[in-house]
Amino acid sequence: MRDDLRAKRDALLAKIGKQPVVMGILNLTPDSFSDGGRYRTTDAALDHARRMIACGCDVIDVGAESARPGAAAVSEAEELARLSPVLATLAQALDAPLSIDTSKAKIAAWAADIGVVAINDIWGLQRDPAMAQVAAAAETLVVIMHNRSETDAGIDIMSDIRRFFDRSLALAAAAGIAKQHLVLDPGVGFGKTSRQNLVAVARISELTDYGLPILVGASRKSFLGSLIDRDIEASLAGTVAASLAAAAGGASIFRVHDVAEHVTALKVFSAIRPNAAALKSRTP
């Protein structure tokens, strides 16, 4: 890893655990469920990235393959075509650290050469057998996300998440990925029923014993609507509520579409929560 990228990576690492870290979503896709097609050109992507940074974004997660349910698989060639030259422009023009949202090892290796400091793998190193080695060689941060090929309402989702993480962490260790470069993501909205998504957020504190930062991406997920019997997939209020619930459970990184609102909400949450005991003791 180049010295300048190592500095960006380490600066991002230093924030985790000391303050909420906001990861802004930048989709270069035509079919993402929320913002597909809006940022496919280099100019549009760069403008949106700059807006998110101005709003307080700590890292930008760039993806070129939709992970929404039912989305068509994208070939390596197509994913690369969508990313290039946009990612190169972002890496040159922005001071903020970049993350690549991909499950393809060759794409991850290319992106690391371009200038990303994190690999966000929605299959947690388990889909592409070369991914762990690529991440180890690149020395990037690695987000290990829980996923399933299909939902199963009958399983204990927390036990399934732990089994998945254990397997992914074993792969990471075998490849030589440094533990301090790992992040866990319970995969809200991926291979889970609405109830299982709710459980994953509500019981996120059970994952803190891994001793690793936890990322949560509940932004605009459809399960939020099931909680109030309404379709609020794009509801900002529902997303912020889920993110704050995750923060209360120990999550420290939040992958979101609406950066400004989350930066504000998480700052207020962080200011209130550590002072709760002191404030209570002063109450007459």
- Which residues are tagged catalytic? 221, 255
Within 8 A by CB and 6+ apart from 278, the residues are none
CA–CA distances in Å: residue 24 to residues 11, 98, 183: 17, 10, 16
| Alpha carbon 75 to chain centroid, angstroms | 22
Distance from C-alpha of 140 to C-alpha of 5, rounded to nearest angstrom: 9
Beta strands at 118-121 and 253-256: parallel, antiparallel or unpaired: unpaired
Which residues partner with 61 through β-bridges? Answer: 25, 99
Q: Beta-strand (E) ranges in 211-273?
A: 215-216, 253-256
Within 8 A by CB and 6+ apart from 73, the residues are 65
Distance from C-alpha of 256 to C-alpha of 77, rounded to nearest angstrom: 27
Distance from C-alpha of 282 to C-alpha of 260, rounded to nearest angstrom: 33
Distance from C-alpha of 127 to C-alpha of 123, rounded to nearest angstrom: 6
* Best CA proximity match to 198, nearest among 265, 245, 261, 258: 245
